[in-house]
């Protein structure tokens, strides 16, 4: 059978999943859409590659609300945030503003403080702004100006500050966080969504009393997509792809072996869906192990940053997840005292190497690291 590789890449993207590549998350989409509509500012927290950005983008499409996602990962100073918000302002104001020059000129009245001007572009009249204040003052005025304009036009808009933990790491972060709080508290027509993968840093930003953003938002913790939700979606995609009866044990194996981690489900399926026939269990396993082999460099790099005790605990959890890591039996198994287990496990959890699943067991978070550790390679690695 002639199989299109680009279809496999489209259905199981490495980047953001949107449209028919986006699997379900109906409850989360509904909840987020309601936040967008009702001005409920929200922090979305989940480990890396769980699907935060895809969820935000897909919900913006679903809700048909003008919105802009700002990626703060590359932010190295507060000027970056200021520049990104300025761009966001121009884009959103152009999205919500009426089309005629006359109406645009009226709108400009509401945001006069920002020295707006109309310029002619290929797409027609565009509002541009220039500010000459400090980055923090400028952020306050831009966001207040956008909110006023949205209110006058009876429009709602959404601003998503993705990888927001970066803002908390900047020099002068306190005054920028205070500026953002000022804007968020006063906003009536802009909903703010903050998201990021460092639960630890985001907790510090939003849950520490001395920080400006304390108790400003609702919290939404994103979990993995459940196997009972993934299973019918993958089965349907497989039947459509190979037009033959699909081995349901193989589909189940995809979900077992990747632990339903969306990034790895996509990585594995992207390979499987390029094959001429629907996979059997042993093919799923072979493709997965081959894939893990190709990931060795970053895995050894990541494990190399851990202390021996932390690595031993991680390897033990990869071999067998456990509910009682402070018990004598686990302590004997890893040959580490209970108080050292405590300290090491805290660090492993803080850095997203380990998580506590809904079944209360402590598990290795990344299925690629888990598989790698279980393939004896761990012992080769520590002997090097
Ligand atoms: N609902 C979904 N359905 C299908 N695939 C998804 C879904 N959500 C995410 N993915 C896939 O998971 C991977 C990670 O998605 P995404 O980039 O949205 O996550 P993220 O949490 O924003 O990651 P990062 O922490 O790196 O910013 C991508 O391969 C994406 O295609
Ligand atoms: Mg992201």
Distance CA 376, CA 318 (A): 11
Local structure of residue 86 (DSSP, 8 states): H
Helix (H) or strand (E) run with residue 196 in it? strand 190-196
User: Residue 246: what pLDDT?
Assistant: 87
Q: Are residues 234 and 194 in the same domain?
A: no
Which atom from ligand 1 is nearest to the alpha carbon of 48? Answer: 25
Q: Helix or strand or coil: residue 205? A: helix
CA of 384 to the centre of ligand 2 (A): 35
DSSP character string of 212-246: TTTT-SEEEE--PPPHHHHHHHHHHHHHHHH-S--
Q: Are residues 307 and 369 in the same domain?
A: yes
Distance CA 88, CA 159 (A): 8
Query: Is 46 close to ligand 1, i.e. is its CB under 6 Å away?
Result: yes
Query: Is 237 close to ligand 1, i.e. is its CB under 6 Å away?
Result: no
Q: Are residues 324 and 372 in the same domain?
A: yes
User: Residue 379: what pLDDT?
Assistant: 54
Query: Is 321 close to ligand 1, i.e. is its CB under 6 Å away?
Result: no
Measured over the CA atoms of residue 361, residue 363, residue 365 and residue 366, the dihedral's sign is negative
Structure tokens that stand for 93 in this block: 């104001």
Last residue of a domain, one of 294, 320, 355: 294
CA of 22 to the centre of ligand 2 (A): 14
Q: Identify which ligand lies nearest to the alpha carbon of 230.
A: 1
Which residues touch 352 (CB under 8 Å, ≥6 apart)?
A: 47, 48, 197, 199, 365, 366
Residue 183: Cβ within 10 Å count: 21
Q: Are residues 183 and 43 in the same domain?
A: yes
How many domains does the chain contain in total? 3
Residue with tokens 């027509």: 189
Residue 178 in any domain: the answer is yes
Which residues touch 312 (CB under 8 Å, ≥6 apart)?
A: 334, 335, 336
Query: Is 267 close to ligand 1, i.e. is its CB under 6 Å away?
Result: no
User: Residue 384: what pLDDT?
Assistant: 47
Torsions phi, psi for 356 (to 5 deg): -100, 115
Q: Are residues 274 and 320 in the same domain?
A: no
Query: Is 262 close to ligand 1, i.e. is its CB under 6 Å away?
Result: yes
Instruction: Decide: 302 and 91 in contact? Cβ < 8 Å.
Output: no
Nearest-CA residue for ligand 1 atom 26 is: 49
Residue 19 in any domain: the answer is no
Which atom from ligand 1 is nearest to the alpha carbon of 49? Answer: 23
CA of 104 to the centre of ligand 2 (A): 34
Q: Are residues 163 and 268 in the same domain?
A: no
Helix (H) or strand (E) run with residue 42 in it? strand 42-45
Which atom from ligand 1 is nearest to the alpha carbon of 13? Answer: 31
Last residue of a domain, one of 179, 198, 221: 221
User: Residue 138: what pLDDT?
Assistant: 85
Torsions phi, psi for 43 (to 5 deg): -105, 125
Instruction: Decide: 89 and 115 in contact? Cβ < 8 Å.
Output: no
Which atom from ligand 1 is nearest to the alpha carbon of 225? Answer: 1
CA of 226 to the centre of ligand 1 (A): 15
Distance CA 314, CA 317 (A): 5
Residue 66 in any domain: the answer is yes
Distance CA 261, CA 7 (A): 21
Overall residue count recorded for the chain in this entry: 384
Which atom from ligand 1 is nearest to the alpha carbon of 56? Answer: 18
Ligand 1 pocket test, candidate residues 17, 73, 224, 226, most atoms within 8 A of CB: 17
CA of 162 to the centre of ligand 2 (A): 7
Last residue of a domain, one of 188, 205, 221: 221
Ligand 1 pocket test, candidate residues 9, 10, 12, 16, most atoms within 8 A of CB: 16
Residue 237 in any domain: the answer is yes
Q: Are residues 174 and 311 in the same domain?
A: no
Q: Are residues 213 and 278 in the same domain?
A: no
Helix (H) or strand (E) run with residue 363 in it? strand 362-364
Q: Are residues 281 and 312 in the same domain?
A: no
DSSP character string of 4-62: -HHHHHHHS-SS---GGGS---HHHHHHHHHHHHTT--EEEE--TTSSHHHHHHHHHHH
Q: Are residues 98 and 158 in the same domain?
A: yes
Query: Is 263 close to ligand 1, i.e. is its CB under 6 Å away?
Result: yes
CATH of the domain at 351: 1.10.10.10
Residue 322 in any domain: the answer is yes
User: Residue 68: what pLDDT?
Assistant: 93
Residue 46 in any domain: the answer is yes
CB burial string 342-354: b at 16+ within 10 A, e below? eebbeebbeebbb
Residue 275 in any domain: the answer is yes
Q: Are residues 193 and 336 in the same domain?
A: no
Q: Helix or strand or coil: residue 199? A: helix
Structure tokens that stand for 71 in this block: 């990626």
Residue 259 in any domain: the answer is yes
pLDDT by 10-residue block (mean), the chain, 384 residues? 74 95 94 93 93 94 92 90 89 82 68 60 60 79 90 92 90 87 93 91 86 87 94 94 90 97 97 93 95 94 94 94 91 89 94 93 96 74 50
User: Residue 112: what pLDDT?
Assistant: 64
Q: Are residues 244 and 336 in the same domain?
A: no
Which residues span the domain enclosing 141? Answer: 25-221
Distance CA 301, CA 297 (A): 6
The beta-strand segments (E) located in 122-281 are 124-128, 157-162, 190-196, 218-221
Distance CA 264, CA 251 (A): 14
Q: Helix or strand or coil: residue 193? A: strand
Residue with tokens 């580490």: 336
Distance CA 338, CA 344 (A): 10
């Amino acid at each position: 059978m002639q199989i299109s590789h680009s279809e496999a890449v489209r259905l199981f993207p490495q980047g953001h999943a949107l449209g028919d590549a986006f699997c379900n998350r109906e409850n989360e989409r509904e909840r987020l859409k309601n936040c967008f509509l009702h001005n409920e500012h929200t922090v979305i927290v989940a480990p890396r590659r769980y699907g935060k950005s895809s969820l935000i983008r897909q919900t913006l499409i679903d809700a048909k609300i003008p919105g802009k996602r700002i990626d703060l990962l590359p932010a190295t100073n507060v000027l970056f945030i200021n520049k990104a918000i300025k761009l966001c302002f121009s884009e959103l104001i152009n999205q919500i503003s009426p089309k005629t020059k006359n109406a645009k000129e009226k709108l400009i009245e509401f945001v006069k403080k920002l020295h707006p001007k109309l310029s002619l572009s290929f797409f027609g009249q565009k509002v541009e702004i220039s500010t000459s204040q400090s980055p923090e003052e400028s952020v306050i005025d831009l966001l207040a100006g956008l909110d006023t304009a949205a209110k006058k036009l009876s429009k709602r808009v959404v601003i998503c500050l993705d990888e927001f933990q970066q803002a908390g790491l900047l020099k002068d972060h306190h005054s920028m966080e205070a500026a953002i709080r000022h804007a968020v508290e006063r906003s009536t027509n802009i909903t703010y969504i903050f998201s990021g993968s460092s639960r630890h840093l985001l907790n510090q930003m939003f849950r520490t009393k001395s920080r400006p953003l304390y108790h400003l938002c609702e919290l939404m913790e994103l979990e993995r997509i459940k196997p009972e939700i993934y299973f019918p979606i993958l089965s349907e995609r497989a039947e459509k792809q190979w037009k033959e009866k699909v081995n349901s044990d193989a589909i189940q194996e995809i979900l077992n072996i990747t632990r339903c981690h969306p990034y790895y489900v996509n990585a594995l399926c992207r390979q499987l869906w390029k094959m001429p026939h629907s996979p059997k269990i042993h093919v799923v396993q072979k493709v997965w192990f081959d894939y893990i082999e190709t990931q060795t460099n970053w895995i050894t790099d990541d494990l190399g940053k851990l202390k021996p005790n932390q690595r031993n605990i991680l390897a033990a959890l990869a071999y067998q997840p456990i509910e009682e890591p402070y018990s004598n039996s686990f302590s004997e198994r890893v040959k580490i005292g209970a108080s050292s287990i405590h300290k090491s496990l805290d660090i492993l959890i803080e850095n997203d190497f380990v998580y506590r699943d809904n079944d209360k067991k402590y598990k290795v978070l990344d299925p690629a690291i888990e598989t790698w550790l279980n393939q004896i390679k761990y012992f080769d690695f520590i002997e090097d």
